[in-house]
Structure 1
Amino acid sequence: MPGFPQLLHTAIDTTDCRGLAEFYRELCGYRYRPGDAPPEDGPDDADWLVLVDEAGTRKLAFQQVDRLERTTWPQHDVPMQMHLDFTVGSPAELEHQRGRAEKLGAELLLDRTDDEHEPLYVLADPSGHPFCLLVR
């Protein structure tokens, strides 16, 4: 029995559960946990979805909410509250992944690629949650 609690996954509120799950599934190469894939026929009324990595480890979950106020970051009227950080191996990969994220529906919030110690982009996912892409 471990002496500390273990993180299961990070849950993200959204007004479009399937849409946001699809964004991160495509961006990160995750897959749905068994039973969460989109239905073959009929309505998709998912209000809780989980994405897992190749080993089946839970990574992200998405919870349907009726209302979600988009952050105004970098202004603090509506704070960020949390964000995800994703790393890549090189500046070229950083540019590639920024382009992929934007094609999937992300919006650029901050370009800090001129920082020689930690070049990064801050983007917002389609629900407005900020996330960073940075060179490790």
Structure 2
Amino acid sequence: MKSRREGNKQTVLAFYEAGLNRKDFEAASRLIGDRYVQHNPRIADGIKGLEGFIAQLRADFPALRAEVKKIFADGDFVIAHVHGVRVPGQAGTAIVDIFRLDDDSRIVEHWDVMQPIPETAENQNGMF
């Protein structure tokens, strides 16, 4: 039997694949709890906000890919370090997403911070 933390991580990984990589709102919506609180100021609260966001991605960035580089779980929270690329060939964005999940391992809250990946850096450590 997998732990709740592992179950929460699997939910978040499935959400990236369904919602962001496949842009499949129906599949992604099954991973969302009864109430969905969104802290990204460009996305509305609730399941309708998520639906609009996924529709916008499908229209504006059909080839967008989100690759989870690292994922951590602590209690009800999952934190993912993600490489997001809207258009193939671009450097993309380094993203840290924070999700809170309910007792059924459904996503109920989301925060994120994003940083464009620069062309040059003062060190050789990379963003991931």
Normalised by the shorter chain, which TM-score bucket?
under 0.3
Query: Normalising by the residue count of structure 2, what TM-score does the alignment of the two structures yield?
Result: 0.26
Please give the TM-score of this superposition, normalised by the length of structure 1: 0.25
Q: Which has the higher helix share?
A: 2
